Structure 1
Amino acid sequence: MSADIVQIQSGDNTLVCAFIGPMNAERCNQVQKQIEESIESSGLPVVFDMKEVEFAASSFLRIVLTVNKKVGRERFQVVNVDPKVKKVFKMSGIWDALKLEG
C-alpha cells in the first residue's frame, strides 16, 4: 500500500523519494517510518520529488523537517513542487529556512 504513496529508489548517488497523490496526515503516517528507515540504511543524499503532489498537510512538513535534520540541508532537496504546495512551504517558513529552490 505504501508504494501507492511513495516510491523510493537509489540512483546516481541519491535516494529519491517520489511522492504520489495528496500527502495528508493519514498517508504521511503510513510512510514516515519506511522513509526514515530507507534514508538511514542508504546513507545517501535525499531528494523528495513532489511532481505528483497537489496537497501537503502539516504532517508532511514534519517529515521534511525530520529528514532535513537527519541528512543535513546540504544533502537534501525538494524538487518539482506544485505552486499550491510551495505556498504551504513558504507560509510555514520551511521553504526559506531550508533554502529550498525553485
Structure 2
Amino acid sequence: MPSDVVQFSDGEKLLVCAFMGPLNAERCQQIQEDLIGKIEATESVVHFDMKEVTFASSSFLRIVLTVNKRVGKERLKITNVDPQVKKVFKMSGLWDALGMGS
C-alpha cells in the first residue's frame, strides 16, 4: 500500500489509519482494497486520522460508507478533519449520519 496515502498504526484495541494529502479518486482507488481488507481483519476500533488530508472526494466518502457498513459507527472514529473536508462530509449528510457532532 502506498505510504504517501495512508499509514497504519495497530494498537491493542485501536487501528489508526492516518491519511495524507488529497484523497482524490485515483489515490482512493490505490488504497481501497488493502484498506478494507485490513479493517475487516480486525475487531479493533477503526480510527481515521484526517490531520494531513487536504481534500476528500466522493470516492473517499464511498470508502467511509463501506467501512461504516462493515464495522458500524460505534467502531469507526474520524478525527482531525480540516474545515474544508468537514464541509464535504456535511454536504453529503455523512457528518450527522456517522454521529460526528458539530
Same fold (TM over 0.5): yes
Could you give the per-residue CA deviations for residues 48-88 of structure 1, whole angstroms, max 9, x where no partner exists?
00000010000000000100111011111100000000000
Shift in Å at residue 101 of structure 1? 3.5
User: How many residues matched?
Assistant: 102
Moved more, 3-12 or 79-88: 3-12
Greater share of helix: 1
- Paired amino acid for 2:97: A
- Indicate if the aligned counterparts of 2:12 and 2:44 stay in contact, CA closer than 8 A: no
- C-alpha distance in structure 1 between counterparts of 2:44 and 2:95, whole Å: 22
Partner of 2:19: 19
RMSD: 1.2
- C-alpha distance in structure 1 between counterparts of 2:31 and 2:67, whole Å: 13
Trace 1:3-82 onto structure 2 (pairs within 5 A).
Answer: 3-82=3-82
- C-alpha distance in structure 1 between counterparts of 2:86 and 2:12, whole Å: 26
Structure 2 residue matching 1:4: 3-state secondary structure: coil
TM-score by length of 2: 0.95
Identical-residue share of aligned pairs (%): 62
- C-alpha distance in structure 2 between counterparts of 1:21 and 1:53, whole Å: 5
Structure 2 residue matching 1:2: 3-state secondary structure: coil
- C-alpha distance in structure 2 between counterparts of 1:45 and 1:19, whole Å: 16
Partner of 1:95: 95
Shift in Å at residue 8 of structure 1? 1.3
Gaps of 5+ in 1: none
Q: Runs of at least 4 residues of structure 1 off by over 2 A?
A: none
- Paired amino acid for 2:89: F
Moved more, 92-101 or 16-25: 92-101
Gaps of 5+ in 2: none
Shift in Å at residue 43 of structure 1? 2.0
